[in-house]
Amino acid sequence: MKKQQLDHWLQARKNESCEPPKVFVVSCADLSHYSLAVEYKHKLEPILVKDQLAYFNSLESVKDELRKLGLSSAYLRLHNAYDEFGHHGDVIYQDIELYLVS
C-alpha cells in the first residue's frame, strides 16, 4: 500500500468516524531498522514510498512519522529470527502496543 493511500484512509476515517486502521512498525529483534505496515483484510500490507519499502533508522523517527499521520497508537511487531526453527505452530513474533501521545 502506498503511503498516499494510507493518508487518504486516515483522512476519510476522521470524516466518517470509522475505526482507525491497525498500523504496525515491523522489525527483527536484533536490527535497528524499522518499516511500516497496515493490516488490510487480515493481512499486513507494507507501506511504500515511491515504490520502495519505507525504512526508518530509529523507533523515534517512526513515532514522529506516525504522529504526523494523526495516529495515537500503533503496534511494534518484533520478529525473532532465532525462533524460526521452533516448534511448529508457535508464533515467531511479538506485538507490543506503542502509545504515540502522552
pLDDT of residue 20: 75
pLDDT digits (tens, 9 = 90+) for 43-88: 999 999 999 998 899 989 999 999 998 888 999 988 876 665 655 6
Give, as one character, the DSSP assignment of residue 60: H
pLDDT of residue 9: 83
CB 75 within 8 A of CB 98: yes
Model pTM? Answer: 0.81
Measure the CA–CA gap between 78 and 96, rounded to whole angstroms. 8
pLDDT classification of 8: cutoffs 50, 70, 90: confident
Of 32 and 99, the one with more pLDDT = 99
Measure the CA–CA gap between 69 and 77, rounded to whole angstroms. 19
pLDDT digits (tens, 9 = 90+) for 46-58: 999 999 998 899 9
Measure the CA–CA gap between 11 and 25, rounded to whole angstroms. 20
